[in-house]
Amino acid sequence: MKASTSSLPLKAHMSSTVVSAPATGARPRTSLAVAMLGFFVVALDAQIVNVALPGIRNDLGGGLSGLQWIVTGYTLMFSALQLFAGTFSDRAGARRAYGLGMVLFTVASAGCAFSPSLELLLAGRILQGIGAAMITPSSLALIREAYQDTAQRGQAIVYWGLGGSVAAAAGPVLGGVLTQLDWRLIFFVNLPVGAAALFVLARVSPSPRRPMPFDWVGQFTAVLALASLTYGIIEGAAVGYGTPGILGMFGVCAASAAVFVLAQARGRHPMLPLDLFRSRTVSTTLAVAVVTMAAFYGVVFLQSLYFQQLRGATALEAGLLFLPMTGLVALLNPLAARLMLRYGSVLMIAAGQLLMAAGLAGLWLLPADAPTLVASLTMVPVGVGGSFTVPPIIALVMDHVPAGRAGTASGVINTARQVGGSLGVAIYGALLAGNEFMTGLRTGLGTTAVILLVLIAATLPLRKLHTQTKETP
């Protein structure tokens, strides 16, 4: 798991791009290098910003809600546009979609670096999220096109995932180092990576295109529902959840969600077939994905503020305090895959949830003045538990959908996880805004630990279903 995106599903949208023949003149290693650079920079940007938040506030002003939007502006668009971006990659061709996404991401990064105000920085983060959403499925599609042999393609995907894991481990530390100099450098670092990716992309053969239809109604209402919900949660903590404006936002969310469901049920080309959720396994597993990512992103957000604001750590020290958790996540991802083969997906998911709950409970019980190193080590079970849930979540869903739905199901998993990350930051931040810092922190951690324990009780019965014939949603 990454601190987030480093744990993006390793099969996301692979099956959605069908290539009838190998791309003429394709250079597999070149395509792999492009894909790894793309996933690296997308995963890095999800992590590098957190330790810079206090520095950004000192320079540009804004309260806690402003800091939340800097994080969620990126993850919100990233999550809301995943399914759309997969269709766009098929329709425009993976190489072209990747190029457009990387150009947008790189230009938006420059805009963030030069932002004179919090509002313009948020606009840049939103554009970064759109670019990241385009890069992720197209990077996997490039691998699918370049590697026709299944075994070689599997190895390539492992390397692709490694790029995200390295970014997740390096992000907090690199962010701390750069923020010590100037927080704007965390965005400038994307420019050489983006330029290198585009340079190598020029050596990749053009990708085939497919006449894929877009679900415009579904996409618009999905973005509107998620954005209005996030806005209501974040801003409601400051102005009150009973105020007309916030109630109106929740109303917009409910109406948009209703139209979205209707569009998916009756539309000619739904981007999210609702019959996927008829499977108890799929629906339960997606709920686990949402909660585990909410916990992970929420902990990273909360602990970044805790180390720097309450404990007086510098940005670099805060980044180093995250290293035990993020470093182990990168190292243990391969082990998680092997353990899954030995003990099964359901037991691995339950074990991961239990580890996360234990880590959250430990942070909840930790005294406010505990040594920062102890707090750092207490976060380790949260990261390790999260990394243990990702491969089996993907495998479990893939085993319970028809092969023709694999690409769509992968996109749904990725979307669920990123939505969880966005909501985690929004909800945890709202709890901080409405309470004294440690009270809000402990309320969020304790509540999430309880939810994870409840989900374990819902997950374990799936073991029986998983040993039977695959369900057909």
- 175 and 241 both lie in a single domain: no
pLDDT, position 6:
39
| Assigned domain for 471 exists | no
- 276 and 359 both lie in a single domain: yes
Q: Are 364 and 446 in contact (CB under 8 A)?
A: yes
pLDDT, position 108:
96
Q: Are 221 and 257 in contact (CB under 8 A)?
A: yes
Quick one: tokens of 392? Answer: 């089996």
pLDDT, position 402:
63
Task: Give which of 5, 204, 198, 200 is closest to 106, Cα–Cα.
Answer: 198
| Assigned domain for 84 exists | yes
Cα 166 to chain centroid, rounded: 15
| Assigned domain for 167 exists | yes
- 98 and 242 both lie in a single domain: no
Task: Give which of 163, 382, 376, 174 is closest to 293, Cα–Cα.
Answer: 382
**Token pair 């948009």 is at which residue?**
256
| Assigned domain for 264 exists | yes
Residues sharing a CB contact under 8 Å with residue 469, sequence separation 6 or more, in sequence order: none
- 107 and 121 both lie in a single domain: yes
Q: What is the largest CA-CA distance in the chain?
A: 62
| Assigned domain for 126 exists | yes
- 153 and 250 both lie in a single domain: no
- 367 and 230 both lie in a single domain: no
- 20 and 76 both lie in a single domain: yes
Q: Could you give the number of structural domains in the chain?
A: 2
DSSP 366-404: S-TTS-HHHHHHHTHHHHHHHHHHHHHHHHHHHHTS-GG
| Range list of H helices, 114-243 | 118-146, 150-181, 185-188, 190-201, 216-239
Number of other residues whose CB lies within 10 A of the CB of residue 253:
20
Give the CATH number of the domain where residue 427 resides: 1.20.1250.20
Task: Give which of 143, 170, 206, 153 is closest to 41, Cα–Cα.
Answer: 170
Torsion of CA 189, 54, 293, 457, to 10 degrees: 160
| Assigned domain for 113 exists | yes
CA distances from 1 to 75, 162, 236, 277, 279 (A): 16, 11, 31, 24, 25
pLDDT, position 150:
65
| Assigned domain for 472 exists | no
Q: Which amino acid is at 344?
A: G
Residues sharing a CB contact under 8 Å with residue 162, sequence separation 6 or more, in sequence order: 36, 330
In which domain, by residue range, is 41 found?
A: 5-214+271-466
| The Cα angle at residue 349 between residues 345 and 351, in degrees rounded to 5 | 115
From first to last of the 473 residues of the chain, give the pLDDT tens digit: 334 443 433 333 333 333 333 433 347 788 888 888 888 888 888 778 888 888 898 888 877 778 888 888 898 888 888 778 877 887 888 889 899 999 999 999 999 999 999 999 999 999 999 999 889 888 877 877 777 776 676 667 767 777 777 787 788 888 888 988 899 999 999 999 999 999 999 888 777 777 777 788 888 898 898 888 888 888 887 778 889 889 999 999 999 999 999 988 887 778 777 877 887 888 888 888 888 888 888 888 888 888 988 888 888 888 889 888 887 777 776 677 677 778 888 888 889 899 999 999 999 998 888 899 999 999 999 988 887 887 778 767 766 766 555 556 667 777 888 788 888 888 888 888 777 888 888 888 888 889 888 888 888 887 766 555 444 44
Task: Give which of 292, 287, 391 is closest to 344, Cα–Cα.
Answer: 391
CA distance 264 to 86: 17
pTM confidence score: 0.76
| Assigned domain for 473 exists | no
- 120 and 257 both lie in a single domain: no
Phi, psi of 203 (to 5 degrees): -90, -5
CA distance 139 to 34: 7
- 156 and 255 both lie in a single domain: no
pLDDT, position 248:
93
CA distances from 217 to 35, 267, 270, 439, 458 (A): 30, 9, 9, 41, 33
- 121 and 235 both lie in a single domain: no
- 227 and 331 both lie in a single domain: no
